[in-house]
């Protein structure tokens, strides 16, 4: 039988039914097989320590302990009854799941979910695979095994079970302070990631959108951590950080074609990012990084995540180099996006100002793509993290029919009561002849969104989002 995975009422608590191969000699199983198990949906949680515990008599009962790490627990020998209680802040606080464990079963326990186990037969041996080194000083949240609210149905009554005095003294549920999330909100029925989250690039459009969804995250402005300052990256304290969201970048596409701009683009988007990725690897952090449609040459009808990198200009080249640096991290989300619109200066606001002033702009009509509203990108980011989506590269823009910059400008002008004829469509070459030297740009910036949808996120139609943006912003 092939291994399979089952979800439980406790978000992120996953039960694995393992394939056990046996004969007259005994049995064999793959207790942790990264490729197979992550393909099934188990988080690639990066274990760093393996511990084994032996309990002699039947009825030995331990818990309920919510630990500050993720854990894969399984049985090496014997049988046990397991009970898990969600002790994290949120709507599922106090939710219970129970399961009988033997060599055919393993359970992935996200941090903040309380563990408790009771041996059903003598000489039961547990295996624990965890993604943080055990420490006697670790901060645990505890719950009493006999709590009447959660009412765990222990097979061996606690009055006759072997329980330590310490475990008998744990508080009732009403006395437990729920573990606070890291700043990442829960998306039922998915897991709520724990641990501290930092957002780099505070003050930018995307970072502001992320901050609205991550009230407890630490926002790090460029003055505190500049990706062009490589010494600052090396000196930054990433200890105890679980997730780094990098919303910082050099984004001045045309300036990147100048001597100074080229150096700054490569320092921030490539070399600095490589140092950031190395720091994330040393501290076992998940790194979320945002890339661009400019890493492609724009010849594909829709660029998939596997489209060969073929940047046309310096900005795209520096972003492509950053993509390669991030892609080797075991725990990363590389989110490529295009045509960003947020609460700062952007194309839509520029067109709105021109419409209000009665100016008739010349806008290119041979570059085609989809807008990405900053809030949409922030929501997609939170979804991937909170749902423990498979690590790797995702394309993230708004959905709907693609359009050109001129088509978008006409929608903006129409909203402002101006006619289509007020926007004059020109080719990129014609625009460049009048605007002066500009960086090369991909003709098609349409990113394939299939993988994002397969991860459970449905991007909103760009035209509907544009109308809402125009209605709700100045």
pLDDT at 183: 42
The whole-angstrom separation of Cα 205 and Cα 274 is: 23
Number of compact structural domains in the chain: 2
Any domain includes 180: no
Distance CA 415, CA 404 (A): 17
**Within a domain: residue 80?**
yes
Q: Within a domain: residue 188? A: no
pLDDT number for residue 187 = 39
Q: 388 and 462: one domain? A: yes
| 161 and 206 both lie in a single domain | no
**How much is the pLDDT for 254?**
93
Which among 117, 126, 128, 333 is annotated as catalytic?
A: 128
Q: What is the pLDDT of residue 307?
A: 95
* Domain end position, chosen among 175, 204, 238: 175
Q: Are residues 171 and 204 in the same domain?
A: no
Query: Does the residue 465 lie in any domain?
Result: yes
CATH number at residue 64: 2.60.120.10
Structure-derived torsion over alpha carbons of residues 399, 333, 389, 105, reported in degrees to the nearest 10: 170
The whole-number pLDDT of residue 181 equals 57
Residues with Cβ within 8 Å of 67's Cβ and at least 6 positions away in sequence, in order, are 109, 111, 115, 130, 138, 140
CATH number of the structural domain spanning residue 227:
3.40.50.720
- Choosing from 175, 207, 233, the residue where a domain stops is 175
Verify that 97 and 206 share a domain, yes or no.
Answer: no
- Token pair belonging to 16: 């694995």
Is 65 annotated in the active site?
yes
Assess whether 136 and 283 both reside in one domain: no
Which range of residues forms the domain containing residue 104? 4-175
Same domain, 262 and 145: no
Q: Is residue 187 part of a domain?
A: no
Residue 117 phi/psi, 5-degree rounding, is: -140, 145
Domain end call among 142, 175, 208: 175
State whether 384 and 445 are in the same domain: yes
| pLDDT tens, per residue, the chain with 474 residues | 678 899 999 988 999 999 999 999 999 999 888 888 888 888 878 788 999 999 999 999 999 999 888 899 999 999 999 999 999 988 899 999 999 999 999 999 998 899 999 999 999 999 999 988 877 767 789 999 999 999 999 999 999 999 999 999 999 999 998 886 544 444 333 333 334 889 999 888 999 999 998 888 889 998 889 888 888 888 888 877 889 999 999 999 999 999 999 999 999 999 999 999 999 998 888 999 999 999 999 999 999 999 999 999 999 999 999 999 999 998 899 999 999 999 888 999 999 999 999 999 999 999 999 999 999 999 999 999 888 888 999 999 999 999 999 999 999 999 999 998 999 999 999 898 887 768 999 999 999 999 999 989 999 999 999 999 999 887
Task: Please tell me whether residues 244 and 377 are part of one structural domain.
Answer: yes
Based on its alpha-carbon atoms, the radius of gyration of the chain, rounded to whole angstroms, reads 26
Q: Are residues 79 and 213 in the same domain?
A: no
259 and 383 co-located in one domain: yes
- From the list 167, 223, 229, the residue with the least C-alpha distance to 200 is 223
Q: Are the C-beta atoms of 393 and 421 separated by less than 8 Å?
A: no
Residue 280, both tokens: 């994330």
In-domain check, residue 190:
no
Query: Is position 186 within any domain?
Result: no
User: How far apart, in whole angstroms, are the C-alpha atoms of residue 384 and residue 331?
Assistant: 12
Residues 107 and 252 in one domain: no
pTM as predicted:
0.67
φ and ψ at residue 47, rounded to 5 degrees: -65, 145
Do 202 and 139 fall into the same domain?
Answer: no
| Residue 376 confidence (pLDDT) | 96
What is the maximal distance between C-alpha atoms in the chain? 87
Assess if residue 189 is contained within a domain.
no
């Amino acid at each position: 039988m092939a291994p399979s995975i089952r979800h439980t009422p406790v978000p992120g608590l996953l039960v694995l039914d393992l394939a056990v191969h046996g004969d007259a000699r005994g049995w064999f199983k793959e207790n942790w097989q990264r490729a197979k198990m992550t393909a099934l949906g188990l988080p690639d949680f990066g274990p760093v320590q393996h511990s084994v515990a032996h309990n002699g008599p039947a009825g030995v009962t331990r818990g309920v302990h919510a630990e500050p790490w993720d854990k894969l627990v399984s049985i090496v020998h014997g049988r046990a009854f397991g009970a898990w209680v969600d002790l994290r802040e949120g709507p599922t606080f106090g939710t219970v799941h129970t399961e009988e464990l033997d060599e055919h079963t393993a359970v992935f326990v996200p941090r903040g979910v309380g563990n408790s186990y009771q041996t059903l037969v003598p000489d039961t041996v547990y295996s624990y695979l965890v993604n943080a080194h055990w420490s006697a000083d670790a901060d645990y949240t505890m719950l009493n095994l006999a709590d009447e609210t959660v009412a765990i149905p222990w097979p061996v009554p606690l009055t006759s079970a072997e329980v330590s005095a310490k475990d008998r003294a744990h508080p009732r549920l009403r006395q437990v302070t729920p573990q606070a999330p890291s700043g990442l909100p829960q998306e039922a029925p998915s897991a709520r990631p724990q641990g501290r989250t930092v957002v780099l690039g505070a003050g930018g459009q995307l970072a502001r959108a992320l901050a609205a969804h991550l009230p407890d995250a630490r926002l790090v402005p460029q003055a505190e951590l500049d990706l062009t300052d490589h010494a600052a990256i090396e000196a930054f304290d990433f200890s105890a950080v679980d997730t780094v969201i990098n919303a910082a970048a050099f984004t001045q596409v045309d300036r990147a074609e100048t001597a100074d701009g080229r150096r700054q683009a490569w320092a921030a988007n490539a070399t600095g990012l490589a140092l950031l990725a190395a720091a994330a690897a040393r501290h076992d952090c998940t790194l979320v990084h945002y890339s661009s449609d400019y890493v492609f040459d724009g010849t594909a009808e829709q660029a998939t995540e596997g489209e060969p990198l073929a940047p046309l200009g310096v900005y795209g080249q520096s972003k492509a180099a950053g993509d390669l640096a991030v892609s080797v991290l075991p725990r990363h989300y590389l989110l490529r996006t295009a045509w960003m619109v947020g609460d700062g200066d952007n194309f839509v606001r520029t067109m709105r100002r021109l419409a209000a002033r009665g100016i008739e702009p010349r806008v290119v009509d041979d570059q085609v793509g989809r807008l990405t509203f900053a809030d949409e990108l922030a929501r997609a980011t939170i979804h991937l993290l909170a749902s423990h989506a498979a690590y790797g590269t995702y394309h993230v823009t708004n959905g709907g029919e693609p359009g050109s910059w001129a088509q978008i400008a006409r929608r903006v002008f129409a909203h402002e009561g101006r006619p289509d004829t007020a926007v004059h469509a020109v080719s990129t070459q014609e625009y460049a002849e009048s605007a002066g030297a500009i960086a090369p740009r991909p003709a098609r910036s349409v990113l394939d969104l299939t993988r994002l949808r397969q991860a459970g996120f449905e991007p909103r139609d760009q035209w509907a989002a544009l109308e809402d943006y125009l209605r709700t912003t100045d």
